Amino acid sequence: MKFIKIPALITAVVSCLILNSSCKKNLEEHPYSSISSSAVFNSEDGLKKATLGIYQTYVETWPTTWYRFGAAETGHQYATQGQFGDTFFDSFNKFSTTPSNNTGGELDAIWAQDYQMIARANTVIDNATTAVADTSIANKYIAEARVLRGFAYFDLARNFGGVPIVDKQITSLTQTSLIYGKRATLQATYDFIVADMLYGISELPAKWTGADLGRVSSGITKGLLGKIYLTMAGKPLLAASYYQKAIDMLSQIVGSANEAKYGFGLMPNFTDVFSNQYKKNEEILVVFSNFYSSNNTMDSIWPFFLGGRGLINTDEQSQAGLTYKFYQLFGSGDTRRDFTAVTRYAAAGNADVAVGGDSIIYNQNRLRYIDSTNHAVFGNATTNQGIVYGKFDRTPRASGVVPWGYPIDMIQLRFSDVLLCLAEADIETGNTTDALPLINRVRTRAHAAPYTDMTNMEARVRLERRLELTAEFNTVYDIRRWGTLQTEIAAEVGSQVVGGVVGTYSPKLELYPIPQSEIDVNSGLTQNPGY
């Protein structure tokens, strides 16, 4: 028998509809598997469940969410290995990623997950009016699906550049023009994204409340589109006119009256933003919810692979870290510093060489964590260690729960990000006067000293983004759009990577390669230059 390989973008949608209905907050789970379209799209209830199923795409498998962290948060001047090496992200840290060394791995998983979200969104878009005859109702679901589809294309564009545009449901292998589509230009890809976002803004409510809290709204979409415009203004498009578009869009949701209208604001305490106790907080705009139950064992693994051993439980295996130079970027009173990069903590129990309660302290000269009681190296003693991450809820897993059983959400956009995006767009258009209070609003919340003048404002806002947003799927994409990747790589030193050999800059590194596994089955796909 001859087996036919097909691209990842259709593997979940041909012949059947597979939807796992959920949302980013406390929305009720309604799983579906192998259910026909007619059985789902026969009422508004079915339409809603299918729409909520789009959100679930991003949290159905912990390895892919973990790979997303590597693609967005490793491979820069402050990135290094964790307490136990960098098994997963060695190629990112060394800038040695190729189309083939990720086959079946990180980039393949990201590509497939984005196209699965697109496929689910297209299914909703094409069937909404079948489920609900009233277009005023159906259009809201279509809008929600289009925003999520645009979000997936935004992720693809930032990672890979222009990609094939699939704008309708694939129901048959005869739809070859969609299945084996050619890459659109980057501009065309962004034009498609913008159109989806604008439609969402025109049809969605300003905000959701109650059980629907957490679904994308027009306010959330404005924040997301403002960030997209800011990205378009930078590299590689370098379309400076989009800075003003970003200002015009983001200004609609910033300010006391606008924030009240859309339900946005900053939490009083930085650490509370990430607490499971405040999952519905006003600062979080776009987030995909992780929850653990007997029916859903794929949850968040970030504390296990990012946190220090004994920080929460006793089995953590930190595989990514931050350099001490990153830690030094913060002022001493900045509450973000020790929450983001954990240089000392008390072991939660007997872990590695420590007894429960021992102080585990990072030694920046030895590049190791040390147990202050017995003075032994804590963690892997054979390789250098970076500072472990701590930017997540610290509630221990329940007994017997798997290592990826933390109910920690995947935050993609916060209101502080919105404020800094608006500040950056203001600065790039010469309006530093409006930018200053926006930056200071973020700094004041963190108990960091506010700026009192408007010197070096571009450098300041870029620094603030790192202090505020590190570990939130922004760092690499910010570096690329700023055009500073070459500088980042030049600032790396051998002690940051396993083996001691840092990567060298090449223009090809401004994008990741298209997974070779996709090119092998789609002759319409071309590889990014240099790979």
Q: What are the average pLDDT values for consecutive 10-residue runs of the chain, which has 531 residues?
A: 42 39 35 68 96 90 90 97 91 91 79 97 98 97 98 98 96 90 97 98 96 94 98 98 98 98 98 94 93 68 95 96 98 97 97 97 98 97 96 91 89 98 98 98 98 98 98 98 98 94 96 95 94 96
The dihedrals phi and psi of 344, each to the nearest 5 degrees, come to -155, 145
- Residue 299 near residue 404, CB atoms below 8 Å: yes
| pLDDT for position 7 | 58
Which residues touch 444 (CB under 8 Å, ≥6 apart)?
A: 450
Burial 326-340 (b: 16+ CB within 10 A, else e): bbebbeeebebbebb
Per-residue pLDDT, 297: 62
pTM as predicted: 0.93
Report pLDDT for 514. 96
Distance CA 161, CA 508 (A): 11
φ/ψ (deg, to 5) at 361: -125, 135
User: Which amino acid would we find at residue 12?
Assistant: A
